Amino acid sequence: MSTLLHYSAAGLPLSFRELDPEAEGLECFAPFRSEAAPGPIVFSRDDTLTLPPGADTLHTFGFAETACRFHFAAGRYFLSMNHPRAAMLSAAGTGGDVAVHLPGEASADPVLRRALLRFALWWGFGPAALLRGALPLHASAVVHRGRAVLFLGESGTGKSTQSRLWTRFLPDTTLLNDDSPILRIRRDDIAAWGSPWSGKTPCYRNLSAPVAAIVRLRQAPHDTIRPLKGAEALAALLPSCPPSMTHSTQLTDRICDLLSPVVARTPVFLLACRPDRQAVTLARDAIFDTAHRF
Amino acid sequence: MKIDERYRLRETAGLYILLDRQSETADLTRIVTLNDSARLLWQHLREREFTEADAAAVLTEHYGLSPQQAAADARKWTALLLEHGLAR
């Protein structure tokens, strides 16, 4: 008899079986505890999980000095993470079943084990989330006067810095998430949610706000902002979608389907700027003073 | 020449775009969109060897262009494919 622990992310119920994220040191999950009825997304600990022979490797990448491989086999996605001081294997189906093979507590570096588990849960949430209209974006997000602004950009472009400047210089502005907010895309409504995944900033907020704008950042000596439409907007958004997912045809198709309404209904901007107060004012005015035009 | 199989045509946001299957080596902030005639050529000529004359024949057949106009347009399209590394 196993107990289920219930959480939610981006309004989607998440359950855990034989796996307690908070007991594993992932306190970032605490704000996401939920009394709601369980749904199809279930994370289970399964220490018998193995990679099926002949699995296709879709993508190889590094994370936390750990060699990671993204595979597809027997209708499921697999993530193998190998580090001499911790190794983990996860499997995720689009149906919502996510299995994680954890290394033994004694054999693994606890800090690394925690980091890998946090990543495995984010990764495992992806395929099921995409199928349910939830798109994790690599972004820093603020809520200004009840509406979310998401900042996108390559690592080191100043996403977090931009969010910090907004919360510092603008009234009624708070950080929503600093690494992986989740867009919930529905027919008439696109909202940004906080999530248990927020990079190095402990900002784990289980709340959402309608999206006012998505802003791609570029460092520049002078501050300029301009709206992006059509192909430019799409090109601004695609690189910030979960990178390993874009190596699967099925998941990429799903991402494209989700981005269509985002491009059609959400203002997207390119902000080229220095990290200063002028850039914040420029962007705020462009987004909030022209919002009625969209 | 032949269209590089790393690219896949996909409709999204009302646009026809080329998705790069090897996106870890690509600059993802650059995307290629195809207009109607470029898409028609792509759909007819992918997954096989073709020449400029093959492309011109597709344009003649579907748009009723004169041989001269079709040849000129086909030359432009194949030059763009090569220039952007979409075919070789």
Strand-pair category, A97-101 with A86-92: antiparallel
Q: Which of the four pLDDT bands, split at 50, 70 and 90, describes residue A294?
A: very low
Contact, B10 vs A256, CB < 8 A? yes
Give the gap in angstroms from C-alpha B66 to the nearest C-alpha of chain A: 31
Whether the pLDDT of residue A289 is over 90: the answer is no
Supply the pLDDT for residue A282: 97
B9 touches A: beta carbon within 8 Å: no
Query: What pLDDT score does A285 carry?
Result: 96
Domain that holds residue B64: 7-83
Separation CA A195–CA A181 (nearest Å): 6
Residues of chain B with Cβ-Cβ distance to A231 below 8 Å are: 15, 17, 31, 33
Work out whether strand A134-136 and strand A182-186 pair parallel, antiparallel, or are unpaired.
Answer: antiparallel
Q: A112, A56, A30: which is closest to A248 by C-alpha?
A: A56
Which SS3 state, helix, strand or coil, does residue B8 take?
strand
- Contact by Cβ (8 Å): A176, A203: yes
The predicted model gives A43-53 an average pLDDT of: 95
Question: N- to C-terminal Cα distance for chain A?
Answer: 53
Give the Cβ contact number of residue B57 at 10 Å: 17
Is the residue at B88 inside a domain?
no
Burial grade of A35 (CB within 10 A; 0-12, 13-18, 19 or more): exposed
Question: Looking at residue B29, which CATH number applies to its domain?
Answer: 1.10.10
Query: Which of A61, A231, A264 is opposite residue B31, by nearest beta carbon?
Result: A231
Question: Does A86 or A190 have the greater pLDDT score?
Answer: A190
Q: Is the pLDDT of residue A63 over 50?
A: yes
SS (H, E, C) chain A: CCCEEEEEECCEEEEEECCCCCCCCCHHHHHHECCCCCCCEEEEECCCCCCCCCCEEEEEEEECCEEEEEEEECCEEEEEEEECCEEEEEEECCCCEEEEECCCCCCCCHHHHHHHHHHHHHHHHHHHHHHCCEEECCCEEEEECCEEEEEECCCCCCHHHHHHHHHHHCCCEEEEECCCCEEEEECCEEEEECCCCCCCCCCCCCCEEEEEEEEEEEECCCCEEEEECHHHHHHHHHHHCCCCHHHCHHHHHHHHHHHHHHHHHCCEEEEEECCCHHHHHHHHHHHHCCHHHC
Number of domains in chain B: 1
What are the pLDDT digits (tens) for A64-92?
A: 889 999 999 999 999 999 998 889 999 99
Give a yes or no: residue B1 inside a domain. Answer: no
pLDDT over threshold 90, residue A103: no
Angstrom CA distances, A42 to A3, A4, A96, A100, stand at 12, 9, 6, 11
Identify all chain B residues contacting A270, using CB atoms and an 8 Å cutoff.
Answer: none
Of A106-110, A152-156, B65-69, which gets the smallest average pLDDT?
A: A106-110
B44 within a domain of the structure (yes/no): yes
Q: What does the mean pLDDT of chain A come to?
A: 93
Q: For the segment A28-44, what is each residue's pLDDT rounded down to a tens digit?
A: 999 999 998 888 999 99
- A vs B, Cβ pairs < 8 A, gives 53
Q: How would you class A283 by CB atoms within 10 Å of its CB: exposed for 0-12, middle for 13-18, buried for 19 or more?
A: buried
In chain A, where the domains are located: 4-132, 135-293
Interface test with A, best of B16, B28, B35 (most A CBs within 10 A): B28
CA distance A257 to A163: 28
Interface membership of B8 toward A (CB under 8 Å): yes
Cα A82 to Cα A80: distance, rounded to the nearest angstrom? 6
Q: Which residue of B has its CA nearest to A252?
A: B19
- Calculate what percentage of chain A has a pLDDT beyond 70: 98
Q: Grade residue A290 by pLDDT with cuts at 50, 70 and 90.
A: low
Per-residue tokens: A236? 């601004």
**Higher-confidence position of B23 and A24:** A24
- Average pLDDT estimate for A252-279: 95
What are the pLDDT tens digits along chain B (88 aa)?
A: 999 998 999 999 899 999 887 766 556 667 889 999 999 999 999 999 999 999 999 999 999 999 999 999 999 999 999 999 999 9
> Residue A262: which of A195, A207, A186 has the closest Cα?
A186
CB proximity B29 to A under 8 Å: yes
Comparing CB atoms, the residue among A230, A239, A257 nearest residue B29 is A239
Rounded to two decimals, the ipTM of the complex is 0.84
What is the model's pLDDT at position B28?
64
Q: At what angle do helices B52-63 and B36-45 cross, to 10 degrees?
A: 120
Best residue in B12, B16, B30, B39 for a mutation probing chain A (most A CBs within 10 Å) = B12
- The terminus-to-terminus CA distance of chain B in angstroms comes to 5
| pLDDT, tens digit, 9 for 90 and up, residues A204-246 | 999 999 999 999 999 999 999 999 999 999 999 999 999 878 7
Question: What are the backbone angles phi and psi of residue A61, rounded to the nearest 5°?
Answer: -155, 170
- In CATH, the number for domain A135-293 is 3.90.228.20
